[in-house]
Amino acid sequence: MKRNSLLLLFLLFISISLSAIYAQYNEVNLMPVPSKLTAGEGKFRVKSNFAMSVKGDCPDRLYSYASRILHRLSGRTGLFFPQDYVTNKSNSDTVSFYIYCDQKANVKLGEDESYSLNITPDRVELRAKNDLGIMRGLETFNQLLSSDEDGYYMPVVKIEDSPRFAWRGIMMDVSRHFMPVDVIKRNLDLMASVKFNVFHWHLSDDQGMRVETKSLPKLNELSSDGMYYTQDQIKDVIKYAQDRGIRVIPEFDIPGHSTSWLTAYPELASLPGPFTIERNWGVFDPTFNPTIEATYEFFDKFFKEISSLFPDEYMHIGGDENSGKQWNSNPQIQAYMKEHNIPNNHTLQSVFTRRIQKILAKYGKIMIGWDEIQHPELPKDIVIQSWRGEKGLAEAAKNGFHVILSNGYYVDLIQPAEFHYLNDPIGPNSKLSDEERKFVLGGEATMWAELVTPENVDSRLWPRTAVIAERLWSPVTVRDVDDMYRRMDRVSFYLEDAGSTHRRNQETMLRRLTNDNDISALKNFVDVIEPVKLYSRHNQGVKYTSYSPYTRVVDAAVPDVKTARDFRKLVDKYLSKKDEISYNEIKTWLTLWKSNHQELLKTIKLSPVLKEIESLSEDLSLMSEGGLQALEMIHSQKKADKSWLDKQTQLIEKAKQPRGQTEIMVTSAIEKLVKSIPGA
């Protein structure tokens, strides 16, 4: 009994402690959540005399970073600060924000990113061992800005912070749809604002090779459609990233996913060409021939040039989804395998991978590859990027390979933020030993580009990817989904302030869809639909290619749409408490959706491109009408007859069917209302 009492007291203490922690977080809107936050009393008022002072041996990039934060703060408050830029002369002892930095950091794996931020009613102090830590702390400071009737302020807090994982990245595919430099730079700014530190640049695939290579010029001439980054542009992007504390890791996907390469150099293919740049989506057969020396001479020349261009010590070779069909069909390759006792294509690919690894090592690079490259004969310092699941990650760690997780972080699959947030490289239920956990470096979100363009790529990345940044930075115990969504919605604004187009570009797309007519009815509809999930969009009657129009309603719709998410939560609350406020809010929404279809029809008549969603809009209207009736029955505790219930069930089932590759996201909530009618 005594032991049980002590256990209960312990659990009560933990519960109270966690409640206190979340209460502190609820006072701020930080994402990622810091390692340690102590809330104090009072407010630090941001006034027109606000200025920053820098102490210590700081590099130029830190002054630029601090200046950007200063200008964003001025822009959000409308205050005319006397300080124009933060410079090495900004060392006054009478300012309000003091930055203490000991040294310049190397932007490399494992560099210290910790910082401490102390905000009192009178002053702000930010301290770190190096400028990387100062950068992370400046973004925290920027997110703390609040306002009341007396003006702008920062809450009094003390923060001690450092990341949980050293590798926190976003992979952007620029091969399937080319992304101009301004899109890359914009997203580097957004990455920095939520403390990502790796930009994984997927630069080659079947649809294009995107890097200028002076030693192999045919790659630019024949493999890129003229859309590639010059070496000067690449150097500029790398500097831009490093100035934000972000590493740039290029990926060149081989031996498969190589149609574009072989368009320029068909003699290196496993079967005769000719080849042309691929315009379709999927996994294709053209593959480098791993049994001829010319292949390795080619890659020696290529990686010699590329290694001098990209300074990071890591380089990604892809290695995924090699169908092996060309190898199976080539008699010379089959004879080679027999002569060298190579039993299967996986082993043959490991021969290729080991040769490439030695070339990379020759030029000072450590190899990264997707799951498929793992082989016991590879050196243990390589990195395995796990895209096929927890099993692959665990296997790599158990075998002593460094590993990063991407499975569960595929943001192109349109899954909700909650799904990504609860996915963890080393979750609470991980079976890895303490020793094996040391090999898990972190994770990367992946933005594959089959279905995105520069116009809507931000809406597929943000704000959801911010919750992945939190998962990779914050303590494993920070897992409150409701609080995550509360903060994500606020961080969405911070991201927009930092340059994201995830909100404003949608309005541009809607205006185009309405032929520049009133977008109100279409916006009401788009606010409760999402693109279909996973890869089902490819199987719904439309064949997409690289030159297809990505300008339809499905392209303007966004993942994890807030209005629908809030409505689902509202229905759950009402069914639990039957409160009057929730009842009235639900009624307001259902009334809007019931009447919206007639308004949208007026727009559809003027914009034939919208015809594909007409029946889905009608279903939303009819289902909302049934939802209103169900709400009234629940509220007045009346029963529904069987014929009415059967009709509503049929309407709901019809509304669940996607159209225009989109689906209604309030269907489940309305279905709950119907099923909650007394006697239903």
Three-state SS at 233: helix
DSSP state at residue 544: -
Separation in Å, CA 448 to CA 172, 282, 300, 406:
6, 12, 28, 12
Residue 385 DSSP symbol:
E
Instruction: Give every CB contact of residue 317 below 8 A, 6+ residues apart in sequence.
Output: 251, 252, 253, 254, 353, 356, 360, 367, 368, 369, 373
> Which residues, other chains included, contact 43 with Cβ-Cβ below 8 Å and sequence gap of 6+?
121, 153, 154, 155, 156
| Contact between residue 288 and residue 255 where contact means Cβ atoms under 8 Å apart | yes
Q: In this structure, which amino acid lies at residue 62?
A: L
Per DSSP, the three-state class of 360 is helix
Conformational region of residue 414, where left means phi above 0, alpha means psi within -120 to 50, and beta covers everything else:
left
SS3 assignment for 474-506: CCCCCCCHHHHHHHHHHHHHHHHHCCCCCCHHH
Cis peptide before 274 (omega within 30 of 0): yes
Q: Which residues contact 163 (CB under 8 A, 6 or more apart)?
A: 113, 114, 136, 195, 197, 472, 473
- As beta bridge partners, residue 100 has 55, 127
Q: Is 321 a catalytic residue?
A: yes
The one catalytic residue in 27, 321, 496, 614 is 321
**Which run of H or of E encompasses 154?**
strand 151-161
Strand-strand pairing, 247-252 and 198-205: parallel
Give the catalytic positions in this structure: 321
